[in-house]
Amino acid sequence: MSGNPCWRRQERFGTNVKEQILRLFKEANGQFVSGEALSEALGCSRTAIWKHISELRAQGYQFEAVRRSGYRLLATPDIPYAEQVKAGLNTQRLGCETHFFETVESTQTEIHALARAGAPEGTVVIADEQVKGKGRLGRSWHSPPGSGIWMSVLLRPKLELQRCPQLTLVAAVAIVETIREQTGLPLMIKWPNDLLLNGKKVCGILTELRAESDCVDYIALGIGINVSSASFPSELADIATSLSIEQQGQAPLRTPLIKRLLEKLEELYFLYVEQGFSAIKPRWEAHALMLGKPITARRVNSATLQGIAIGIDEQGALLLRMEDGRTEHIYSADIDMG
Ligand code: BTN
């Protein structure tokens, strides 16, 4: 799996002018770029350039304009606009097609619609706010504006149906490794889809799929990360946290975090597709919270089990050592520790 990163492909095929303007400013590294140079590089008039810069200003980008020198990019907003996420993104597929919404019901609903309309693997939907954010097992996901990463990624792996839950674990490793690398925070994975800091949930993963017979058509991988939330509604206050709360009010910027996450997710996804789950399993286990600890697994439509979590199997199911020495494989459950 190699080739040009997707932002280089855009350069060749020239898609969105605003994306290209931002890339030129990024390359200028804080120096002035003349209107003439911009219009020559992009093949459009200086009036058109001025119009695009006005639109970028309205989105929160700050430019200094000086006669005879041109424009200088002073500040970019920390709103993960598609142009921002795609600028310099070092991936082959993930994020090459990115859609940003101020408000959506759920990024999952949007990615499902795009998938059904034939969107390519790697398509990403990001929202600043979700008003009907979805959690696992029919729960809702609190997604207020400006405070988190609410994102869905479309994958089209050639995978047997029973292996699909492994992708939740692949995503968990990508998120943990990215956040640890970017913030140093000691995130841990609680099987199957929770990422915790100091015992509270900071991130959740929702993996939904469409399949025909036992062939996967696509996977909608939903990722929710509480980045800068300062507080939570009372029903979540004891169980949820954010990166900012855990760093005494210091929140990482969302856009670079999303970019790094897409790069890491693609790296691990390709590794998984090429080498299978055995290449991911030790990395998952290295960040697993409950290995060797007593847990209670509340299964839907099945008895609740208590035992010691001893690992995961090759399919990604949780292995539970029972009191009588038997090992149970848990495929879906809510886990309580202790
Ligand atoms: C869970 O822990 O129950 C899963 C939460 C998943 C939340 C994310 S936010 C982006 C995507 N869109 C949604 O509606 N849900 C997922």
pLDDT by residue (tens digit) across 83-121?
Answer: 889 988 999 999 999 999 999 999 999 999 999 999 999
Check pocket membership of 151 for ligand 1, CB cut-off 6 A: yes
Check pocket membership of 207 for ligand 1, CB cut-off 6 A: no
Average pLDDT over residues 67-85: 92
The CB-side HSE value for 276 (13 A sphere, CA atoms) comes to 5
Q: What is the pLDDT of residues 4-23, one digit of tens each?
A: 676 554 433 335 788 889 88
Q: Is 130 annotated as a binding residue?
A: yes
**Residue from 101, 112, 134 to probe ligand 1 pocket by mutation (most atoms less than 8 Å from CB):** 134
What is the DSSP code string of 22-77?
Answer: HHHHHHHTTS-B-HHHHHHHHTS-HHHHHHHHHHHHHTT-EEEEETTTEEEEEE--
Q: What is the pLDDT of residues 31-44, one digit of tens each?
A: 999 999 999 999 99
How close is the Cα of 329 to the center of ligand 1, in Å? 25
Average pLDDT over residues 54-66: 90
Out of 95-109, 202-216, 288-302, the most confident range is: 95-109
Average pLDDT over residues 227-247: 96
% of the chain surpassing 90 pLDDT? 81
Check pocket membership of 133 for ligand 1, CB cut-off 6 A: yes
State how far the Cα of 67 lies from the Cα of 82, in Å rounded to an integer.
Answer: 30
% of the chain surpassing 70 pLDDT? 96
List domains and CATH numbers for the chain.
Answer: 5-75 (1.10.10.10), 82-286 (3.30.930.10), 294-337 (2.30.30.100)
Closest-lying ligand 1 atom to the alpha carbon of residue 224: 9
How close is the Cα of 54 to the center of ligand 1, in Å? 34
Q: What is the pTM of this model?
A: 0.86
Q: Is 250 annotated as a binding residue?
A: no
Residue 13: per-residue pLDDT? 33
**Residue from 100, 103, 108 to probe ligand 1 pocket by mutation (most atoms less than 8 Å from CB):** 108
Which residue owns the Cα nearest ligand 1 atom 2?
Answer: 204
Which residue owns the Cα nearest ligand 1 atom 10?
Answer: 150
